[in-house]
Amino acid sequence: MDAGGGAGEQLSLAAVRDQLIREEDSIVFSLIERAKRPRNAPAYSSAGAGGSLAEFFVREAEVLHAKAGHYQKPEDIPFFPQDLPPPLFPTKGFPKVLHPSASRVCVNDAVWKMYFDELLPLFTADGDDGNYAETVALDFACLQALSRRIHCGKYVAEVKFKDSPQDYTPPIHAKDSNALMNLLTFKEVVEKVKKRVEKKARIFGQNVTLEEDTVNKQDGNARDSECKVDPKVLSKLYDLWVMPLTKDVEVEYLLLRLN
Ligand SMILES: C=C(O[C@@H]1C=C(C(=O)O)C=C[C@H]1O)C(=O)O
């Protein structure tokens, strides 16, 4: 988390939301990149030594990332945390703005399953072009962007708690997840987020030409069928998975907040 997380700065809901908006760009762009390649199913079958190429790539990439000093922040969490090496270079400590239990909150198993089982078939074309190594590198970028955005829910929960501890404390003590979920859900924000990511996919995913293109455009933007990723897939991704998982992170964090 960069916004509002600097030394001495107070974390604010506005700053955390700005960070989430920036993360949307990374998610939309990473999906657009992955959509260059078809599904490439052999990259996901367990033909290789022990697991799929996708799993092999993520495990090995995370080893490199850990050596380079990644995974020091509460929102940067590896998918395979077991036996990761320590950083080989000096890292700069980040100000600790969260409760220490934040490190125990992780929904990466759900992110992994959602990405491969649900999302991938929605935005990649059927087919196999043989570019498996490139494909799994693109998957890794998508997974990282999704996971980071979702785990930023820890900061959202912290500011919401700090803004009104009197509302959050009783359901935390009662371990009432449903009450917490209701408290932290803002329906107007949810609707805005869905509309904005759909619009971003429409704007970022259009072909840019120098000629005036009136045939393939509607209101100055590309028609959905011309976009590199269907904008409706983005609103569905956020509606069904990204926002619910972010809220799961928020609830899990809050349940540990008073430990
Ligand atoms: C992240 C927030 O908390 C919840 C989750 C949202 C999301 O994941 O985008 C949006 C609104 C809230 O229901 C927030 O309030 O900004």
**Ligand 1 site, residue 203, Cβ cutoff 6 A:** no
Is residue 122 within 6 Å of ligand 1 at its C-beta? Answer: no
> Using an 8 Å Cβ cutoff, are 35 and 229 in contact?
yes
Mean pLDDT of the chain: 94
Low-confidence ranges of the chain (pLDDT < 50): 3-8
Residue 5: per-residue pLDDT: 45
Domain locations along the chain: 13-256
- Strand (E) or helix (H) holding 101: none
Ligand 1 proximity of 184 Cβ (cutoff 6 Å)? yes
d(CA 105, CA 85): 21
Q: Could you tell me the distance, in angstroms and rounded to a whole number, from the CA of residue 86 to the centre of ligand 1? A: 33
**CA dihedral (47, 53, 54, 56) positive or negative:** positive
Assess whether the C-beta atom of 237 lies below 6 angstroms from ligand 1.
no
Predicted local distance difference test score (pLDDT) of residue 6: 46
**Ligand 1, atom nearest to 250 Cα:** 3
Token pair of 189 as six digits? 């924000």
Q: What is the assigned CATH class of domain 13-256?
A: mainly alpha
Q: What is the per-residue pLDDT for 82?
A: 95
pLDDT of amino acid 212: 76
Give the phi and the psi of residue 223 in degrees, each rounded to 5: -65, 150
**Minimum CA distance residue for ligand 1 atom 7:** 243
Which positions ≥6 away from 130 have C-beta within 8 Å?
40
150 lines ligand 1 (CB under 6 A): no
- What is the model's pLDDT at position 10? 75
- For the entire predicted model, the pTM comes to 0.95
